[in-house]
Structure 1
Amino acid sequence: MKQLKLSNQLCFPVYALSRLVTAHYQPLLGELDLTYPQYLVMLSLWEHQALSVKALGQLLMLDSGTLTPLLKRLEAKKLIKRVRSKEDERIVNIYLTEQGAQLKQAAADIPQHMQRSLELTNDEVKGIKNLIAPILKRHLD
């Protein structure tokens, strides 16, 4: 059955690339004392300054059960603060602390390090993102 050969599967190269990319992030993020999911949260907050837990979950494609422990660990590191909305107590907003905002400068070179580490050209990075984004959009909206 040709269709069941590993080399014919879509899932395997996507899985293997995901693991490779994450492995290349680990030493860089280790210097910042961040895990990869924590880095994604910080990237989101550096871009948006503040987000509700719900908005952050939608942006990162994570449910609250995954996000809550992640946010608790970032809060314990004093990088973020979680504040309940005064208008609606069901809404929890996430803000950067001063320490969290300062970490942005230390992380500034990570994208360039990653591109060099994976030996990707600018066109390859753009091409990969352009291929993946519409697939995710179709299936996650």
Structure 2
Amino acid sequence: MDKYESIKLENQICFPLYAMSREVIKLYKPILEPHHLTYTQYVTMLVIWEEEKINFKDLGLRLHLDSGTLTPVVKKLESMGLVIKYRNKEDDRIVTVELTERGRVLKEEILDVPEKLFSQFKGNTETVMMLKKYLDELLNMASEQS
């Protein structure tokens, strides 16, 4: 057995995950462009649409993003009028992100995005859903370790 077998690219779990992530984000790009959203802004809005109002720290935890990555995303969404961000009156260390009326309107306009993305996989919805299930399980396991 080749002693370098374990470090071949084809034997890495990280690479197909990374490559597939990039491919899926590329598929989202033309679907999200009419809504003037990037992929990262879209997933951020998904959480905000679910919660309506969320603590910035909790938003980062849900998205697995650190504040250095999330801060410019939320700032951009705020400049687009989709969310407002404010500090808690009792504890100014706590920042809340809240959906605006314009953000609610976008939620209605964007309902077809998941269907449009799934259509890119040419009828392999079952495979995609199984992959999502397995990725969710692996993400949960990895999150428990960190």
Q: Same fold (TM over 0.5)?
A: yes
Give the deviation of 1:120 after TM superposition: 4.8
Query: Is 1:68 equivalent to 2:86 in the alignment?
Result: no
In structure 1, give the amino acid aligned to 2:117.
Answer: M
Structure 2 gaps of 5+ residues are none
Query: Is 1:127 equivalent to 2:140 in the alignment?
Result: no
In structure 1, give the amino acid aligned to 2:105.
Answer: Q
- Alpha-carbon distance in structure 2 between the residues aligned to 1:61 and 1:75: 20
Q: How many residues align?
A: 141
Q: Which moved more, 1:7-16 or 1:74-83?
A: 7-16
Identity of aligned residues (%): 41
Deviations 1:61-100 (A, max 9, x none): 1111111111111111111000111121111111111111
Q: Secondary structure at the match of 2:81?
A: coil
- Alpha-carbon distance in structure 1 between the residues aligned to 2:74 and 2:14: 30
Give the deviation of 1:36 after TM superposition: 0.7
Structure 1 gaps of 5+ residues are none
Q: What does 1:71-86 correspond to in 2, within 5 Å?
A: 71-86=74-89
Query: Is 1:34 equivalent to 2:37 in the alignment?
Result: yes
In structure 2, give the amino acid aligned to 1:106.
Answer: E
Correspondent of 1:52 among 52, 55, 60: 55
Correspondent of 1:88 among 69, 87, 91: 91
Q: Secondary structure at the match of 1:12?
A: helix
- Alpha-carbon distance in structure 2 between the residues aligned to 1:103 and 1:66: 23
Normalised to the residue count of structure 1, the TM-score between the two structures is: 0.93
In structure 2, give the amino acid aligned to 1:121.
Answer: N
Q: Which residue of 2 aligns with 1:98?
A: 101
Normalised to the residue count of structure 2, the TM-score between the two structures is: 0.90
- Alpha-carbon distance in structure 2 between the residues aligned to 1:14 and 1:129: 12
